[in-house]
Every structure is written in C-alpha cells, then in structure tokens.
Amino acid sequence: MAQLRATRLTDKQYTRRGFLSNQLPYGTPQRRLTFWIGIPFLFFLFVYLVMNSWILPSITRHGTEFPLPDFTNQALTEVQFSIEDLGLKHEVTSYEYSPGKEKGIILNQFPIEGTKVKQDRIIKFVISQGQKLLPIPNMAGRSVRQAMLDLEATGLILGEIAWAISDTLPERVVVFSYPAAGTEIPLGSPVNLMVNRGRATDFTYMPRLTGLTLTEAQNRLEDKYLKLGIVSYRTDENYLPETVLEQSESEGNELDVNTEIDLVVSSTE
C-alpha cells in the first residue's frame, strides 16, 4: 500500500514566505500600510530624484548659467559677435540722444552686468543717437536782445559779440551769426554774433560775467568799454573764492560806454 505524503494540514502549520515576510508578516496592518503607502512613496521619490537630477537639468540647462558681461559704452556693431558667441540674442528697445556719446553706443542694458543668464536669453539695449543737433536761427536784422531770445528758444546760448562799422546797415542790429544761420550744432552750444555799431561809438553790450573770476570779469568789462563798479561779497562754499555770482546788468543789455557794473562775488568767510 502506497505511503501517504504529508500535507499542509499535518502537525506542523504551513507558513507563507515572501518579500519581507519575516519583518512584515502576512495579514498584519503594518504590511498593508507598507505596500499601500510606503512602496508607492518610495517609487514617487525615486521618480522625483531621477527627474530632478537628470531629466529636468537637461531640459532647463540647469548649471549652464553664466554672468552677463558689461556691454555698455561699446558700439552695438562691435559687441554683436560677442553676443552670438555666448549664445545670446539681443534687441534694441529705444534710441536716446546722449551728449558726449557717439551714435550707436550702448547706453543701458537689461539684464545688467553680472546677472546670471542662459543661452538664448534676449538682452535688451538702449542705444545712443548721438548729440542732438539744432539749426541756428536766422537773426540778421534783429536786436541783440531779440537774438538772445531766439537762441534760448532754440536751445542755444549767446556767445561772443563782435562789432562791425557800416553806414549802409541799420545800427545796433545783428549783421550775421557765426556759425552761420542754418548750421546744425549741438544742443547748448554758444553762437557768436556780429553786430553793426554804425557811426556811434558811445554804446556797447553787457557781456556775461557770472562764473568768471573777478580778474577775468574785469578784463571782460574793459574789452567791452565798461568799468568795474561796486564789488560786494557773499559767502557761498559752492564756488571758489572771488567767483562772480551776480552782475548788475543782464547779458546783452545795450549800455553807454564807461558804464559802471556792480558785481556780487563769492567768499568762503
């Protein structure tokens, strides 16, 4: 008679064995929590680490940032090759007049120098249009006072006044300017005038003395056949000592020769 094999229901109880069965026996709450919560958590953590360490950096080029150079005060035509070599792009956002800056010079950039950027970043520039040029108005036949007003309205200033003597032209009017009318010059530049004195020799025009030293002002008055009058002092530490702060007659006023001009001069005491 064949011998019967022992089954699971023999004297020794059958025990299931599997993954972590010793630490987490089957049927226990700990095992269910581990498999329903712990393992999915570990899986998502693994996916996160892979994404953050390899996949995302390859997409966003993380770690390829570099500090942006300073392109200001350089010509745009000269830095274009450097911008391309760095893998950057650029665009001009505006043009501005800038005294002392040649046309085409970069005035400002965004982002600013030192900002960490990546390739393909667009750098925005403000470009200089150079010095703003203004045409000299035609002042022939006008009085010196009116010529001054015309210059100020244009954005220019009165320079030196020279004299012409002519019996055929109206007296005490502008004969011509130099540079000539219509010439374009930078904003704020002085324009010199040639004024007909005619036959009269007993009048002159008041020069600008403010900002000059007292000695320079006195020499300028003598050149215009004027005399130095009363000199008073005023404490003003913004100017060097004996700098002319005020003059008793306005620039361009028609005066008799030998008129005395009073001055207010700076003092540090």
| Confidence tier at 134 by pLDDT (50, 70, 90) | very high
> What burial class does residue 261 get, using C-beta atoms within 10 Å of its C-beta: 0-12 exposed, 13-18 middle, 19+ buried?
buried
pLDDT for 4 beyond 70: no
Question: In terms of Cα–Cα distance, which of 211, 244, 209 is closest to 224?
Answer: 209
- Give the residue, 41 or 153, on which the prediction is more confident: 153
CA angle 136, 141, 145 (to 5 degrees): 75
Domain ranges in the chain?
20-63, 66-128, 132-201, 203-269
Instruction: Tell me the pLDDT tens digit for each residue of 173-230.
Output: 899 999 999 999 988 899 999 998 776 567 788 999 999 999 999 999 998 889 999 9
- CA–CA separation, 148 and 250 (whole Å): 11
- CA–CA separation, 130 and 126 (whole Å): 12
Instruction: Please tell us whether the domain made up of 132-201 is placed in CATH 3.40.1800.10.
Output: no
pTM above 0.75, yes or no: no
Cβ(205)–Cβ(172) below 8 Å: no
Share above pLDDT 70 across residues of the chain, in percent, rounded to a whole number: 78
Whether 66-128 shares its CATH topology with 203-269 is answered: yes
Q: What's the chain's average pLDDT?
A: 82
| pLDDT for res 138 | 95
| Confidence tier at 92 by pLDDT (50, 70, 90) | very high
| Confidence tier at 43 by pLDDT (50, 70, 90) | confident
Of 14-23, 90-99, 181-190, 218-227, least confident by mean pLDDT is: 14-23
What does CATH list as the number for 66-128? 3.30.10.20
| pLDDT for res 1 | 46
The CATH number of domain 203-269, selected from 3.30.10.20, 3.30.390.10, 2.30.30.830, 3.40.630.10: 3.30.10.20
| pLDDT for res 9 | 46
